[in-house]
Structure 1
Amino acid sequence: MSSESVQLHIFFFPFMAQGHMIPTIDMAKLFAARGFPTVEAGLPEGCENVDSVSSPDMFPAFFIATKMLQQPLEQLLKDYQPSCLVADMFFPWATDVAAKFGIPRLVFHGTCFFSLPANDAMRLYEPHKKVPSDSETFVIPNFPGKIKLTRAQLTDFTQQEVETYFTNLLKEAAESELKSYGVVVNSFYELESVYADHYRKVLGRKAWHIGPVSLCSKDAEDKAQRGKEASIDEHECLKWLGTKKSNSVVYICFGTIAKLSDSQLKEIAMGLEASGQQFIWVVRKGKNEKEEEGWL
């Protein structure tokens, strides 16, 4: 679309049957894909989500592209005046946009309660700067449980104290969260009650545990088909889990954005093997990797 084209607002209203809803959602995605400003942000054409980002150097451009969604969102809020806006943490500007129209904004992180106050404490108190070496442990201050870490366990940009686009984005997200109405967390109270209470009662933040949100779908096959195609059949995985004792299997996944080198993957694999722990490990297949990795 040219810069002079009229901005289109299209509503999709499907009939309540799978044969209608699924293709309608796919059609909506197809329409929306034509509007993401990839080229304007210096990204390759068709780079519409983080899976399409082929190198770490492209991430700043991708996040800059998401800022171009601010004006369309502002127009939608102005036109339809929703009761609330739930926006991802990576849209820090959403809090101010919602505030323009008196609309409360809830932040969604995608992480658990544990990480929220832990990240806050690390950012505010910087305990990693008070130890003499990367291997010496420190305790996360103002945090339940006396959790010990070393500098070597922190992210690269935290260790190196380098200011980057991503570190600035995280800072903006933290400041935006303080101004927002509250946070929704994909977790449940019984799993991490100590950290939920700490976040709400000690730090005084508004937060609601609404998870696990995946339970909203009762169809196991539907859940198995979401996201990337797995290398194993979902029934095979469930059958294997059924042979294990309760609370005996560890699930490991480093998320969508994490890019691990072969050497890092091998080191993790050796550590897991040495632990003797039963585990399910989700490993993203790289675009240029061979179909089979001998060391896995």
Structure 2
Amino acid sequence: MEQKPHIALLPSPGMGHLIPLVELAKLLLLHHDFHITCIIPVLGSPSKAMKAVLQALPTSIDHVFLPPVILEEEEIKGLKLEVQAMLTLTHSLPPLRDVLKPTRFSAFVVDPFGIDALDIAKELNISPYIFFPSNAFALSLVLHLPKLDETVSCEYRDLPEPIKLPGCIPIHGRDLLEPVQDRTSELYKMFLSNTKRYRLAEVGPIQSGSSNQVDKSESDCLRWLDNQPHGSVLFVCFGSGGTLSYEQTNELALGLELSGQKFIWVVRTPNNESADATYLSDQTLGNNPLAFLPKGFVERTKGQGLVVPFWAPQAQVLSHGSTGGFLTHCGWNSTLESIMQGIPLIVWPLFAEQKKNAALLAEDLKVALRPKTNKNGLIDREEIAKVVKGLMF
């Protein structure tokens, strides 16, 4: 009997890159009945959310965790998230080779931050592929970037007029992807170089909405939703690792309370350093995030909302009949999950390509509202309450 082709998939660290590769794995299994192994690099310990996704995979999809990468704080301090992800992958290359070498893999798939791993595939005579998990808007930028680089002399964010990309709405330079915001950086140069190297085949979008499935009896938020009126609940979640400052967390809490709107809020411990500071770490190992909410907030909003620490089964929450809106950081996985369920959005971008996604959703597709920041760069409680009411009433 002929042996099934065996495919290896390597996502970059973090849930945002794991989920689309998992969805790709499911489709490869469904349509081709391949044997698939997901090889997972991690910075520190795997998160609860990551384990939940991997444990829910079909039995024909295996997963292997590479040894955890431990980076000293001095080593990563001040580094952008994308650089931290690539550094984690670089440290993971020797054990990756050890995983790939004994098995006869037919193909090896990485995402754009794992391109260095393709050298190992070439060494072991495994067919290499790159999976681009973002949207066509981002892809248009990637393909057009060499021309932009030639014709624009300043930083893109300093351009007085919006940038016109083929097939896209005009977008301000400040809303482009994080890797292109500093043209002097090595990250930008790498990004620019990679845009010229590879051929493309369109395969998406591939989101099934089935990631993070959990037993309803084990989820407080799903049981709580069962008791709420249809379309009455605003789901508030900033992805698998987005964090707000202490002051912004306070304003969001008071804004939700002021709105009078029913809500489920997935809360993380605030961080004043960076919105992506916890993206590559397991936040559940830290402080109880509920301790940082305004005094008395949880008690005052007990009949109005539910506060959930760290993580919730997002796909199931968004598909629940009681959910009527989604306040989101605009990660592309979250965006696809909400659009698939017909859920309108409040967009609150934090990092990576999320500002671009927010512009797409609010200005082009017109399925979202985007709150305004005040002169101090905060979205204040009054603005939050106004936008929530505008979406939900």
TM-score (norm 2): 0.40
Secondary structure of 2:203's counterpart equals: strand
Q: Could you tell me whether the CA contact under 8 Å between 1:92 and 1:172 is conserved in 2?
A: no
Q: Distance in 1 between matches of 2:154 and 2:79?
A: 31
How much does 1:261 deviate? 3.6
Q: Distance in 1 between matches of 2:190 and 2:180?
A: 14
Secondary structure of 1:106's counterpart equals: strand
Aligned length: 220
Pair 160,234 (structure 1): closer, same or farther in 2 beyond 3 Å: same
Q: Distance in 2 between matches of 1:272 and 1:148?
A: 32
Q: Distance in 2 between matches of 1:92 and 1:153?
A: 25
Q: Could you tell me whether the CA contact under 8 Å between 2:267 and 2:290 is conserved in 1?
A: no
**Is structure 2 residue 205 aligned with structure 1 residue 221?**
no
Equivalence for 2:141: 118
Secondary structure of 2:141's counterpart equals: helix
Q: Could you tell me whether the CA contact under 8 Å between 1:122 and 1:140 is conserved in 2?
A: no
Q: Distance in 1 between matches of 2:147 and 2:264?
A: 35
Counterpart AA for 2:269 = K
1:36 to 68, 77, 85: 68
Equivalence for 2:291: 291
How much does 1:91 deviate? 1.2
How much does 1:82 deviate? 0.7
TM-score (norm 1): 0.50
Secondary structure of 2:113's counterpart equals: coil
**Is structure 2 residue 132 aligned with structure 1 residue 138?**
no
Matches within 5 A, 1:75-114: 75-114=98-137
Q: Could you tell me whether the CA contact under 8 Å between 1:131 and 1:138 is conserved in 2?
A: no
How much does 1:122 deviate? 4.2
Counterpart AA for 1:98 = A
How much does 1:43 deviate? 5.5
Matches within 5 A, 1:237-248: 237=225, 242-243=230-231
Q: Distance in 2 between matches of 1:124 and 1:154?
A: 15
Unaligned runs of 5+ in 1: 1-10, 12-20, 45-52, 180-203, 226-231
Secondary structure of 2:119's counterpart equals: helix
Q: Distance in 2 between matches of 1:108 and 1:95?
A: 12
Q: Distance in 1 between matches of 2:256 and 2:154?
A: 31
How much does 1:160 deviate? 4.2
2:222 to 234, 242, 258: 234
Secondary structure of 2:121's counterpart equals: helix
Equivalence for 1:67: 90
Q: Deviations over 1:264-289 (max 9, x none)?
A: 6689999999xxx9998766433566
Which moved further from structure 2: 92-101 or 133-142? 133-142
Q: Distance in 1 between matches of 2:269 and 2:117?
A: 33
How much does 1:163 deviate? 0.7
Pair 284,94 (structure 1): closer, same or farther in 2 beyond 3 Å: same
Counterpart AA for 1:243 = G
Matches within 5 A, 1:275-290: 284-286=268-270, 287=286
How much does 1:92 deviate? 1.1
How much does 1:106 deviate? 2.9
Q: Distance in 2 between matches of 1:110 and 1:78?
A: 26
Q: Distance in 1 between matches of 2:171 and 2:256?
A: 19
Unaligned runs of 5+ in 2: 1-36, 38-54, 271-285, 295-380, 385-393
| Identity across matched positions, percent | 16
Q: Could you tell me whether the CA contact under 8 Å between 2:174 and 2:181 is conserved in 1?
A: yes
Pair 62,107 (structure 1): closer, same or farther in 2 beyond 3 Å: closer
Secondary structure of 2:101's counterpart equals: helix
Secondary structure of 2:125's counterpart equals: coil
Q: CA RMSD in A?
A: 5.3
Q: Distance in 2 between matches of 1:111 and 1:278?
A: 31
Secondary structure of 1:99's counterpart equals: helix
How much does 1:251 deviate? 7.6
Which moved further from structure 2: 261-270 or 74-83? 261-270
Q: Distance in 2 between matches of 1:291 and 1:84?
A: 47
Q: Could you tell me whether the CA contact under 8 Å between 1:131 and 1:137 is conserved in 2?
A: no
Equivalence for 1:150: 172
How much does 1:73 deviate? 2.4
Secondary structure of 1:69's counterpart equals: helix
Q: Distance in 2 between matches of 1:81 and 1:58?
A: 36
Counterpart AA for 2:130 = V
Q: Distance in 1 between matches of 2:237 and 2:162?
A: 25
Pair 108,36 (structure 1): closer, same or farther in 2 beyond 3 Å: same
